Amino acid sequence: MRKFSLSVVAVFAAFSFAAILHSQEVAQTPPMGWNSWNYFASKVDDKGVRAAADELVSTGMKDAGYIYVNIDDTWQGKRDENGVLHANEKFPDMKALADYVHSKGLKLGIYSGPGEKTCAGYEGSLGHEEQDAKTYAEWGIDYLKYDLCSFRKDTMAAKAPNDQAAQMKLMYDAYVKMGKALKATGRPIVYSLCQYGWDAVWEWAPQVGGNLWRTTGDIQANWNSVYAILSEQEGLESYAGPGHWNDPDMLEVGNGKLNVRENRSHFSMWAILAAPLLAGNDLPNMKPEVKEILTNKDVIAINQDKLGKQGHRVYSEGEVDVWERDLSGGAKAIAVLNAGSDRVSTHPFHLRLAKLGLNGPQKGRDLWTGKDVTLTDNMAIELQSHDILLVKIDNPK
């Protein structure tokens, strides 16, 4: 009996160790790339994915760090008599597509879920986890977003109707299963958990091999959604680090009704949050000001800082929020965000350096104007509605 328990412990320890090792190989900084869903939704196809890959290269986004080209939902076709899943007619040859994406120095991501069906009603991986992971590896897939969706109804609610704890265990096991299956392929594949933050996923996702995990419901291309999601990230900062990241959802920069200031603030705050930077816009028709935001190297450097420490909100005054992020080499990023609907000029906002643990004038750089700036105590900062001041201080005092 003792021998048995020891071997169980050993197997478990080996798996956990392997899971940690696996998750350490990839996503040492928050993954960057592009995902099809936010703009194209079910209109994604082989041609569109190739075009996105081409654009990542020609716009300079690849050089700025955007490497993953991720196909979201609606690529799945039918399983053959052996249970092997094939892509639908929109993707005639997934392996050839992966080869194309790889030939550009980029990586290819794909989407599935633990249920019978994905959120858009396409074939999920239930009962075919190992087989699907193998198929992905054979195609040359480098990233999997694994979305809970119908698993809630067809397995969790069906098997444990009135037992929340049992439902959460079923969910956990489902994510363990795909984590192991990916690991067993021997291919480094980023494992992205998408179950909207249920059951404090940040507490257990790294144990199942997760490299990132959604912390909230779906983002939408409007300010209220971006700001609501941002506010929900408070308190999660201690869970992020190299190889494992909180995911407040993909970027809406350049989409919907977001204006330039809102796009800039959204991007800046995802940098402060050490969030994955997955652009979700129409790359071939990107406006110059959107490209400028997405390729701001200084802001990306904050996001990709190798210390991997997620930032946090330090204080708010009225509708102005002040966030900070500690960076490698003792540097700091400070963001002052006007979340309100008015320009902050009638009741100017005054910066309180002591609240940030800073003492005396701080020399830094405004990462949107590129100009040197000195932050002083009590200085008035005037921002338009939904605009941001993002400053990097190399030697905070």
Which tokens is 143 given?
A: 């990233």
Q: Compare residues 108 and 194 and give the one whose CB is closer to ligand GLA.
A: 194
Binding region for ligand GLA (CB under 6 A) out of 1-9, 112-120, 123-131, 169-177: 112-120
Of these, 218, 317, 319, 326, which contacts ligand GLA (CB under 6 A)? 218
For position 75 contacting ligand GLA by CB under 6 A, the verdict is: no
Q: Compare residues 119 and 174 and give the one whose CB is closer to ligand GLA.
A: 119
Shortest distance, CB of residue 118 to ligand GLA, whole angstroms? 6
For position 247 contacting ligand GLA by CB under 6 A, the verdict is: no
154 catalytic, yes or no? no
For position 194 contacting ligand GLA by CB under 6 A, the verdict is: yes
Binding region for ligand GLA (CB under 6 A) out of 116-124, 134-142, 229-237, 373-381: 116-124
Contact 385, 338 (CB under 8 A): yes
CB burial readout 121-153, b (16+ within 10 A) else e: ebbbbbebbbbbbbbbbebbbbbbbbbbbbbbe
Q: Show Cβ contacts of residue 203 under 8 Å, excluding neighbours closer than 6 positions.
A: 239
Block residue for tokens 């390729």: 295
For position 72 contacting ligand GLA by CB under 6 A, the verdict is: yes
Residues 119-138 that bind ligand GLA (CB under 6 A): 119-120
249 catalytic, yes or no? no
For position 116 contacting ligand GLA by CB under 6 A, the verdict is: no
User: Residue count at the site for ligand GLA (CB under 6 A)?
Assistant: 9
For position 168 contacting ligand GLA by CB under 6 A, the verdict is: no
Q: Of 147, 247, 321, 387, which one is the catalytic site residue?
A: 147
Q: What is the rounded CA–CA span in Å between residue 21 and residue 9?
A: 18
For position 324 contacting ligand GLA by CB under 6 A, the verdict is: no
Which tokens is 37 given?
A: 């869903």
Q: Show Cβ contacts of residue 342 under 8 Å, excluding neighbours closer than 6 positions.
A: 385
For position 321 contacting ligand GLA by CB under 6 A, the verdict is: no
State residue 348 phi and psi, 5-degree precision: -55, 145
Shortest distance, CB of residue 73 to ligand GLA, whole angstroms? 3
CA dihedral 242, 250, 107, 333 (to 10 degrees): -40
Position with the least CB separation from ligand GLA: 119
Of these, 73, 123, 142, 262, which contacts ligand GLA (CB under 6 A)? 73
For position 45 contacting ligand GLA by CB under 6 A, the verdict is: no
Q: What is the rounded CA–CA span in Å between residue 226 and residue 292?
A: 20
Shortest distance, CB of residue 90 to ligand GLA, whole angstroms? 15
Q: Of 199, 218, 326, 366, which one is the catalytic site residue?
A: 218
Q: What is the rounded CA–CA span in Å between residue 30 and residue 109?
A: 15
Shortest distance, CB of residue 74 to ligand GLA, whole angstroms? 7
Of these, 34, 37, 39, 40, which contacts ligand GLA (CB under 6 A)? 37
Task: Give DSSP secondary structure letters for 299-323.
Answer: HHHHHT-TT-PPPEEEEEETTEEEE
Q: Compare residues 111 and 323 and give the one whose CB is closer to ligand GLA.
A: 111
Q: Compare residues 68 and 349 and give the one whose CB is closer to ligand GLA.
A: 68
Q: Compare residues 15 and 196 and give the one whose CB is closer to ligand GLA.
A: 196
Of these, 46, 123, 129, 147, which contacts ligand GLA (CB under 6 A)? 147
The H or E element that residue 170 is part of is helix 164-185
Q: Of 364, 224, 185, 214, which Cα lies nearest the Cα of 278?
A: 214
Q: Of 145, 47, 58, which Cα lies nearest the Cα of 104?
A: 58
CA dihedral 169, 172, 176, 179 (to 10 degrees): 170
Among all residues, which ones are annotated catalytic?
147, 218
| Residues that bind ligand GLA in the complex, under the rule CB under 6 A | 37, 72-73, 118-120, 147, 194, 218
